[in-house]
């Protein structure tokens, strides 16, 4: 199968060049997955499937063309190639807007991420049993727990990238993700607790999870929040935990550093290369090579992944790049272009994005704060990249009084200006955790990512809520 696929992909690349393409890329994509949804002790959904196909991308006389097919045969692949070439030739390009890419050294490699237990070797019945066990632990915790939802998904992706640079790389990667959402209610007061675990791993990840650290933890948080108070409103010094910190780093600076967003004019840091954009103690890294849900070895343009330092000691030093954005911005592609499937062209994406650790303990970060807010657990976030504004909704918080955690708070959100918040980071802990696995949406595509941070302090940020 591998030899047949290689012959087919290389044939399409060669044919593309013979038909007038200046650059040709053929990408084979295969995804095997299974998912389970459990709600209040009942398995509501159980599914599995295989998706496979080929995507073809070309540059013809400075114009991009792309087409895809679900049929992996020579006839279908050749027809898809001609569709991509036809697409390119139908486009009108103005002077200065021609498609261009950086040429990189070709790679030839095969990567398989090994697992201890393949999800395909575990029966659907066994998977459902395990998910039900985790769900039950949360449901029976308290009569104030009204709803429990646990979602499980395993996925095995196989991506082969072949292009006219001479690159032929294949990567097979397994991923596991399980999440638990608990809703507790008392009168009209309804609160939620949420936990998720994910990584590039096999079913052993699910076997290692304990209810105490997963579903029961979410249930305890939801019930505890019923007696918490709404937060004050105003400008506060805040200390954020690794989950809130990871959400902030991903939303506020991660998206702004994506090269395609930069050259399209959608980033607030597009004109700030080499400038001070954060405090001296801020170093932000996107690293697909380290462990996390966003881990991979090659991106979907066949470029080997490397750690990227976006901000070093407060100074903006690089953007994340695809072959195209690197050419347009004068950067270097280091493995940041991925596509959701063969139906999409690769675009610039984050991987494992985090704030580098400092040398302080949490106690040291808190000790000189007279009045502030400690934020824990992330729910969601969004960013207005062009305006430089962000909002993060967090699960729970505590007032800080004279360096100690005091009143428990619920329904808390923070918002502010990205660059102002980065410059106001005044202390960074040493307890880095990357534990925000999930799917990031951009331009209609979803992609595996992760994020994290150590505890850190921001001196002056807007906390939302009512007394």
pLDDT digits (tens, 9 = 90+) for 141-187: 999 999 999 999 999 999 999 999 999 999 999 999 999 999 999 99
3-state secondary structure of 76: helix
Helix (H, G, I), strand (E, B) or coil at 433: strand
Cβ 292 vs Cβ 175: under 8 Å: no
**What average pLDDT does range 237-255 have in this prediction?**
94
pLDDT of residue 132: 98
The pLDDT tens digits for 195-229 are 999 999 999 999 999 999 999 999 999 999 999 99
First CA to last CA distance, the chain: 64
Do residues 464 and 415 touch, judged by C-beta distance below 8 A?
yes
How confident is the prediction for the chain on average, in pLDDT?
Answer: 96
The reported pLDDT for the residue numbered 95 is 64
pLDDT for 307: 98
Residue 378: which of 438, 298, 332 has the closest Cα? 438
**Coil/strand/helix, residue 74:** helix
Q: What is the pLDDT of residue 110?
A: 98
**In this predicted structure, what is the pLDDT of residue 266?**
86
Place of tokens 């596991």: 176
| Whole-angstrom Cα Rg for the chain | 24
Closest CA to 393 of 378, 409, 376: 378
What are the structure tokens assigned to 352, written together?
Answer: 């494992």
Question: For position 467, what pLDDT does the model report?
Answer: 47
The DSSP secondary-structure symbol of 251 reads I
Helices (DSSP H) in 19-123: which residue ranges?
74-89
Rounded CA-CA distance 123/137 in Å is 22
| Angle between helix 74-89 and helix 2-18 axes, rounded to 10 deg | 30
Residues 322-343, mean pLDDT to the nearest whole number: 97
What are the structural domains of the chain? Answer: 2-225 (3.30.2290.10), 234-464 (no CATH)
Average pLDDT over residues 350-371: 98
Average pLDDT over residues 227-256: 94
Least confident of 305-319, 320-334, 348-362, 372-386: 372-386
**Whether residue 118 has pLDDT greater than 70:** yes
Q: What is the pLDDT of residue 30?
A: 98
Mean pLDDT of the region 418-423? 95
Residue 264 has pLDDT above 60, yes or no: yes
Task: Name the strand (E) or helix (H) holding 379.
Answer: strand 371-384
pLDDT of residue 97: 82
Give me the pLDDT at residue 1, please: 57
Q: 3-class secondary structure for 78-90?
A: HHHHHHHHHHHHC
Q: State both tokens at 5.
A: 């696929």
């Amino acid at each position: 199968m591998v030899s047949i696929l290689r012959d087919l992909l290389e044939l399409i690349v060669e044919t593309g060049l013979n038909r007038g393409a200046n650059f040709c890329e053929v990408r084979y994509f295969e995804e095997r997955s299974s998912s389970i949804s459990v709600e209040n002790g009942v398995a509501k959904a159980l599914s599995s499937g295989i998706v496979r196909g080929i995507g073809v991308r070309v540059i013809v006389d400075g114009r991009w063309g792309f087409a895809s097919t679900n049929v992996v045969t020579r006839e279908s692949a050749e027809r898809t190639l001609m569709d991509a070439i036809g697409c390119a030739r139908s486009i009108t390009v103005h002077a200065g807007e021609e498609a261009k890419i950086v040429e990189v050294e070709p790679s030839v490699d095969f990567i398989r991420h090994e697992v201890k237990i393949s999800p395909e070797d575990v029966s659907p019945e066994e998977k459902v049993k395990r998910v039900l066990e985790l769900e039950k632990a949360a449901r029976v915790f308290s009569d104030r727990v009204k709803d429990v939802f646990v979602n499980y998904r395993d996925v095995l992706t196989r991506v082969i990238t072949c292009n006219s640079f001479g690159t032929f790389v294949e990567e097979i990667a397994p991923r596991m993700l399980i999440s638990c959402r608990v809703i507790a209610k008392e009168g009209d007061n309804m609160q939620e607790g949420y936990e998720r675990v994910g990584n590039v791993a096999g079913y052993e990840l699910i076997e290692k999870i304990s209810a105490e650290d997963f579903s029961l933890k979410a249930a305890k948080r939801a019930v505890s929040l019923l007696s918490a108070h709404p937060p004050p409103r105003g400008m506060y010094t805040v200390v954020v935990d690794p989950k809130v910190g990871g959400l902030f780093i991903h939303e506020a600076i991660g998206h702004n550093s994506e090269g395609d967003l930069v050259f399209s004019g959608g980033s607030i840091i597009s004109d700030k290369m080499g400038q001070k954009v954060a405090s001296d103690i801020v170093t932000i890294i996107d690293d697909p090579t380290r462990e996390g849900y966003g881990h991979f070895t090659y991106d979907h343009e066949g470029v080997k992944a490397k750690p990227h330092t976006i901000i070093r000691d407060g100074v903006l030093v690089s953007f994340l790049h695809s072959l195209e954005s690197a050419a347009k911005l004068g950067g270097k592609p280091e493995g940041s272009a991925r596509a959701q499937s063969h139906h999409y062209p690769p675009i610039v994406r984050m991987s494992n994005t985090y704030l580098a650790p400092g040398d302080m303990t949490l106690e040291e970060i808190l000790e000189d704060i007279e009045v502030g807010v400690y934020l824990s657990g992330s729910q969601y976030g969004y960013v207005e990249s062009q305006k430089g504004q962000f909002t993060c909704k967090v699960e729970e918080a505590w007032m800080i009084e004279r360096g100690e955690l005091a009143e428990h708070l619920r329904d808390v959100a923070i918002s502010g200006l990205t660059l102002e918040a980065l410059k106001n980071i005044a202390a960074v802990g040493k307890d880095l955790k990357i534990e925000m696995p999930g799917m990031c949406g951009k331009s209609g595509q979803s992609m595996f990512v992760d994020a994290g941070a150590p505890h850190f302090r921001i001196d002056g940020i807007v906390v939302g809520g009512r007394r």
